[in-house]
């Protein structure tokens, strides 16, 4: 229940930031709705396609798709405020990332998959929305360069799976994972934590 | 039957315009066949993958894939004429768009999906071929900037679903939807109808 | 058995060359693992998604994904050597291409698909890994411009399917197909064999 609420907040926030990317590319309303939806629910869709987990969430629940499309269009009117309150959106995005990762784990566990694949499912859910957004908008994918993002999904997944493995109460597991994911993500932004980079030109000299 | 014929004309026309995009990028024959096929049958493939509607059309009917590959290669010889008669191709493309949208609706209805998802299926069928073409050819996706395209698919889908809902005779529904789709598309090109755009730089100033 | 060994060698080599592309784009470790894995096992994944052949190979065998991720990270340390021994990697890549094509055929045959679709499955397996790599790294896809690559997959597929059709002993078919694929690929690199290109600007003048 808590997870559902945070999921809906998360896809709304992601859709709005996705719409901003579409606005930077001067797209029309259809483009805005496409990029907003791809950003918000593209990660879960890629996960379900990779795992063969049909029907996709938004096919079973068209209201989610409605939310992301409306959030995208609303953003075209409220762009000024979305940009102004970007700190709030970053917080909602951090919470959404943690929620997406937990949901990814749950899907993997429900399908009886290997823990390693559950972790992959969590990372795909958390990361591929942004990756799709950047592919459609022809930007260099941020998640491959920036602060910890996939790593946060990894940490949340490992924590949640560990708690699930030892049969800790579900709502405690979810709250703990959300909290840790949120804090690690915010800390990584604040302190500019980054994964090591691979610069071929320097390394191979 | 009429729909099948227009479908085949549609994928042939789309494959030929897709091949032109490959030619602008100086691709080899394999690239031409890939882009031609992705343009023509990529939309339907994405739709079926999103809906989990297996087997894909071209897996069940390899002859469609043969048609798009041959159309692509033939275009490398007839490029001059394809460019010269681009008005004809635009008309065929408009007809194809309407046919694709109707087929998308039918797939959704046959799977017993929500009307809203049927509309999405129609739009994906009509639009994602061009989107894939532009991703592979590394162009800014036209459908996100240009005249009405997704909107035509939306109108066709709403009309067809309404007629289907009231159990109007199938062939009448199809002909009416094809006609309306064709006319709206051609009018949007003629009168440069466009969706509102979202320009973040202006809006957020 | 031989095929499995060559498959594992193939995905390792492809992952390492994929990691180099990520290094050229200065990606972080997550990007390196993503590009390495997409290059190595993305072709097979696209094939299985198109054919609806679930579960995907790496979902059933997470160890393959582990291999590609580790190979990617190891490449960040050994980049100098990978670049230096690029001739060796080209040979392994040629062998991998042949193995991927054979595996693609086998998947199609096991699913009872039309021979034409088996050939497509072989080409997708062999080619789409590199295509995904270039899309993520925002490079012009090499396979659409360069020496024979898809054509090698096509030749291997036709040979293997012919041998399978006449019920030739499986291991002989595999060895013959591997050998022919390897030799044609190496010859195409050596002698710069290319498919005809389609240059729209010249053709349509």
Q: In the predicted model, is pLDDT for residue B48 greater than 70?
A: yes
Q: In the predicted model, is pLDDT for residue B143 greater than 70?
A: no
CB contact under 8 A, B31 and C141: yes
In which domain, by residue range, is C33 found? 2-203
How far from A123 is each of A37, B49, B190, B196, C50, CA to CA, in Å?
Answer: 18, 21, 46, 35, 23
Higher pLDDT, C139 or B155: B155
| Structure ipTM | 0.92
How far from C152 is each of A55, A64, A187, C41, CA to CA, in Å?
Answer: 37, 45, 50, 18
pLDDT at residue C204, rounded to an integer: 56
How far from C87 is each of C91, C186, C189, CA to CA, in Å?
Answer: 6, 10, 11
pLDDT at residue B204, rounded to an integer: 56
pLDDT at residue A106, rounded to an integer: 95
**Average pLDDT over every residue of B14-36:** 91
How far from C165 is each of B106, C47, C172, CA to CA, in Å?
Answer: 38, 22, 13
Range C76-108 burial, b when 16+ CB lie within 10 A, else e: bebbeebbeeeeebebbbbbbbbbbbbbbbbbb
Higher pLDDT, B149 or A112: A112
| Angle (CA) A58 C30 A144, round 5° | 75
The band of C121, judged by pLDDT with boundaries at 50, 70 and 90, is: very high
First and final C-alpha spacing in chain C: 54
Q: In the predicted model, is pLDDT for residue B118 greater than 70?
A: yes
pLDDT at residue B65, rounded to an integer: 97
Inter-axis angle of helices B86-110 and B29-51, to 10 degrees? 30
SS3 A28: strand
Quick one: CA torsion of C2, C8, C14, C15, rounded to 10 degrees? 180
The answer to whether residue A178 is domain-embedded is yes
The answer to whether residue B196 is domain-embedded is no
pLDDT at residue B145, rounded to an integer: 66
Q: In the predicted model, is pLDDT for residue B146 greater than 80?
A: no
pLDDT at residue B203, rounded to an integer: 63
CB contact under 8 A, C203 and B76: yes
Sign of CA dihedral C10, C15, C20, C22: positive
For chain A, residues with pLDDT lower than 70 are: 142-147, 203-205
Of A52, A76, A135, the CB nearest to B203: A76
Q: What is the least distance, in Å, from the CA of B175 to any CA of chain C?
A: 31
* CA nearest to B146 within chain A: A28
pLDDT at residue C145, rounded to an integer: 66
Q: In the predicted model, is pLDDT for residue B105 greater than 90?
A: yes
Q: Which of B17, B34, B46, B54 to mutate to test the interface with C (most CBs of C within 10 A)?
A: B34
Quick one: CA torsion of B89, B94, B97, B101, rounded to 10 degrees? -160
Residues A67-104: tens digit of each pLDDT: 999 999 999 998 888 888 888 888 988 999 999 999 99
CB contact under 8 A, C140 and B62: no
Q: Please, what is the average pLDDT of chain B?
A: 90
| Angle (CA) B197 B202 B205, round 5° | 145
How far, in Å, CA of B36 to CA of B51, rounded? Answer: 23
Q: In the predicted model, is pLDDT for residue C34 greater than 80?
A: yes
The band of C140, judged by pLDDT with boundaries at 50, 70 and 90, is: confident
Residues C60-119: tens digit of each pLDDT: 999 999 999 999 999 999 888 888 888 888 898 899 999 999 999 999 999 999 999 999
Higher pLDDT, A145 or C153: C153
The answer to whether residue B6 is domain-embedded is yes
Q: In the predicted model, is pLDDT for residue C205 greater than 60?
A: no
Nearest CA among C123, C163, C161, C118 for reference residue C143:
C123
Q: Which of B28, B84, B138, B141 to mutate to test the interface with C (most CBs of C within 10 A)?
A: B28
The band of C143, judged by pLDDT with boundaries at 50, 70 and 90, is: low
pLDDT at residue B32, rounded to an integer: 94
Chain C CB contacts of A138 under 8 Å are: 138
CB contact under 8 A, A204 and C135: no
Q: In the predicted model, is pLDDT for residue C30 greater than 60?
A: yes
Q: Are C119 and C154 in contact (CB under 8 A)?
A: yes
How far, in Å, CA of B203 to CA of B101, rounded? Answer: 33
User: Which of the residue ranges A9-23, A62-76, B129-143, C31-45 would you say has the lowest mean pLDDT?
Assistant: B129-143
Residues B82-96: tens digit of each pLDDT: 888 888 888 988 999
pLDDT at residue C137, rounded to an integer: 86
CB contact under 8 A, C200 and B45: no
Q: Please, what is the average pLDDT of chain C?
A: 91
How far, in Å, CA of C183 to CA of C188, rounded? Answer: 8
Higher pLDDT, B25 or A40: A40
Of B54, B76, B135, the CB nearest to C198: B76
If one counts the domains in chain C, the total is: 1
**Average pLDDT over every residue of B10-17:** 92
CB pairs under 8 A between A and B: 91
pLDDT at residue C203, rounded to an integer: 63
The answer to whether residue B197 is domain-embedded is no
The answer to whether residue B67 is domain-embedded is yes
């Amino acid at each position: 229940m808590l997870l559902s609420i945070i999921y809906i907040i998360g896809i709304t926030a992601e859709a709005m930031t996705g719409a901003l990317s579409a606005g930077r590319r001067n797209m029309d309303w259809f483009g805005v709705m496409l990029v907003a939806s791809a950003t918000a629910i593209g990660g879960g869709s890629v996960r379900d396609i990779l795992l063969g987990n049909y029907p996709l969430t938004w096919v079973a629940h068209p209201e989610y798709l409605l939310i992301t499309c409306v959030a995208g269009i609303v953003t075209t009117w409220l762009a000024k405020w979305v940009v102004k309150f970007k700190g709030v959106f970053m917080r909602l995005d951090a919470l959404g990332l943690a929620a997406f990762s937990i949901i990814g784990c749950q899907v993997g566990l429900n399908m009886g998959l290997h823990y390693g694949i559950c972790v992959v499912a969590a990372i795909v859910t958390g990361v591929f929305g942004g990756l799709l957004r950047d592919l459609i908008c022809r930007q260099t994918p941020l998640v491959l360069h920036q602060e910890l993002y996939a790593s946060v999904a990894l940490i949340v997944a490992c924590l949640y799976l560990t708690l699930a493995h030892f049969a800790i109460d579900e709502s405690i597991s979810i709250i703990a994972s959300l909290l840790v994911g949120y804090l690690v993500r915010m800390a990584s932004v604040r302190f500019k934590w980054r994964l090591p980079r691979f610069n071929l030109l320097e390394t191979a000299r």
